[in-house]
Amino acid sequence: MPVREANNLKIWQRRSGRESLFHWVLWLIGIAIFAYCWQQISKSTTWFFVWDAPRIANDIWTRATPPKWEYITQLGKPIWDTLNIATLGTIIAVILAVPVAFLAAQNTTPSRFFIRPIALLIIVSTRSINSLIWALLLIAIIGPGVFAGVIAIAIRSIGFCAKLLYEAIEEIDQTQVEAITATGASRWQIMAYGIVPQIMPAFAGISVFRWDINIRESTVLGLVGAGGIGLQLSSSLNVLAWPQVSLILLVILAAVVISEWVSAKVRGAII
Amino acid sequence: MNDAVFDVETKLGQPWKKPPFVQRAWLRWALLLGLIAYLIAAYMTIDVNWSRVYEGLERGKKFVLAFANPDFTTRSSDIWEGMLESILMTVASSVVGIIISIPVALGAARNVAPLPIYLICRGIIAISRALQEIIVAILLVAIFGFGPLAGFLTLSFATIGFLSKLLAEDIESMDKVQAEAIKASGARWTQWINYGVQPQVMPRLIGLSIYRIDINFRESAILGLVGAGGIGATLNTAFDRYEYDTAAAILLIIIVIVMALEYLSGVIRARVQ
């Protein structure tokens, strides 16, 4: 413990001189980087608009309130579409994620040096690209509509579900697998009776959790034209119909809160 | 396994059946029927233009091929600018978000903050978590104008909700003994936080911060779609012009950076924890 002596008094310090110097240099570099970033951001900002922002915000607020409640009658179908995008996307994703997860887990993968890296690559690449970008891409390929949204959500969720699932597979209790193996079970029987029952709760939990996230994501997919309530949001924004925008935002907020509540309840019941 | 009525005599000689995942039979059937009914209803209401999808397969093939042959050079200046802007936004918003979220997290931990402050901070967290980044970005672009400032504010705002919630949970579950020992030595409140609480939650804070930087970078890639700066605008243009090779190049860069960040965060988290 570094102790400094001054006037015959021992003063405790948290770090020795060299360590604290090192820390100061680190902080200095960090602050310099941040200052540079901020400078660049502020360079490409029109500050006049920023100083004007409170007035604009106030203006938007007065335009947006009260929400246009009667518009909700036209939102039934978009909400149903949003629900479909999230649910069907999750179902497809989960079906595709299971084999990927089994191929990626250390203890079930058929080949550690060839197939496992491919599975991991699928997981990383689908996970690191946002569903909006997938939607953008799919709209360019298969045209706008709900179907593009479903596929976008499905692709995006594969990585997430497969990652959590393969971690669950790697953490299983090996003794149960050994017991099944000892009975002379085949490779598939070991999977069905030794591994699957152990990961089933995790699997159900992951699916519901992802469904909850997908409801969130599918509400905004319409912004790029992939169906759902986001489509109404973007068209209302384009015609500056702020009362409709505020109503849609309220509906989205309600959907998010409800889906989070449902998912928490279901996960609570499973685990 | 219904242990209460498990009777060896009746089970003897009968083949073993795998216990179902959902124990209650009526619930199992209701779930299954509901799922089928839902799938039929969903299938009936989604109108898919299959001929359009079929036509699109050709373009899809082109796109997949573009991944094998990405074009980094033709639009390199646009890509470089967008990427730099995304990274700038990520760094700046992560720093600001983390700095703000620390006091909010302290306020949202019931064992540190009094009730009124606790409620206010929990409210902040709830609002920030309920609104998605892209919606916040739309509103902020409308208010602050186009450019990376709106994106920066959006990401900072989202960071606060994420980080404060998880950090507050960690503070609430900290070891009370150490904090009490510091208090018993006559420490002021700030000293108590600094020496009693902070060392306990520091590993978690570092791990979460790095994880959040990772998320912020991913999110910064889409904020450009609504005009909030970053690589998203370039990507959107590339898709609109059917320049799949450029789009593939951008996506590859995003994937590589995310992978690098993920690897880095794994290393750092393993070291601090």
CB-based contact A152:B239 (threshold 8 Å): no
Fold for A71-270, please state it. MetI-like fold (1.10.3720)
Mean pLDDT value across residues A47-53: 82
Q: In degrees, to the nearest 5, what angle opens at C-alpha A18 toward C-alphas A17 and A20?
A: 65
Q: Can you give the pTM of this predicted structure?
A: 0.82
Return the CATH architecture of domain B74-272.
Answer: Orthogonal Bundle (1.10)
pLDDT at res. A112: 80
List the single residue in A50, A142, A223 with the smallest CB-CB distance to B144. A50
Beta bridge partners, A6, equal A9
CA angle at A265 for the pair A263 and A266, rounded to the nearest 5°: 65
Give the torsion sign (CA, B142, B146, B149, B154).
Answer: positive
Q: Which of A46, A130, A249 sits opposite B145 (nearest CB)?
A: A46
Do B52 and A143 count as a contact with CB atoms less than 8 A apart? Answer: yes
pLDDT for position A9: 76
Interface contact flag, B222 A130, Cβ < 8 Å: yes
Q: B105 by DSSP, 3-state: which?
A: helix
Q: Is B18 on the interface with A (CB under 8 A)?
A: yes
Condensed to tens digits (0 to 9), the pLDDT of residues A188-238 reads 888 888 888 888 888 988 999 899 889 988 988 888 888 888 888 888 888
CB-CB: which of B91, B130, B148 is closest to A253?
B130
Give the integer Cα–Cα distance in Å for B7 and A26.
69
pLDDT the model gives residue A90: 93
- Please list every residue in chain A whose beta carbon sits closer than 8 Å to the beta carbon of residue B182: none
pLDDT reported for residue A66: 84
Q: Please, what is the average pLDDT of chain A?
A: 87
Cβ–Cβ gap A137/B138 under 8 Å: no
Residue ranges covered by each domain of chain A: 1-44, 71-270
H or E, element range at B264: helix B244-272
The per-residue pLDDT for B164 is 93
Listed as ranges, residues in chain B with pLDDT below 50 are 1
Lowest mean pLDDT among A94-103, A252-261, B11-20, B113-122: B11-20
Probe site for chain B from A56, A133, A163 (most B CB atoms < 10 A):
A133
Largest CA distance in chain A: 81
Judged by CB atoms closer than 8 Å, whether chains meet at A45 and B148 is answered as: yes
Q: Please say if the pLDDT value at position A1 is more than 60.
A: no
Name the residue of chain A whose CA is nearest to B44's CA: A84
The predicted-structure confidence for A125-140, as pLDDT tens digits, reads as follows: 888 888 888 888 888 8
pLDDT the model gives residue B1: 46
Confidence of residue A2 (pLDDT cuts 50, 70, 90): low
Mutate to test the interface with A, among B52, B225, B257 (most CBs of A within 10 A): B225
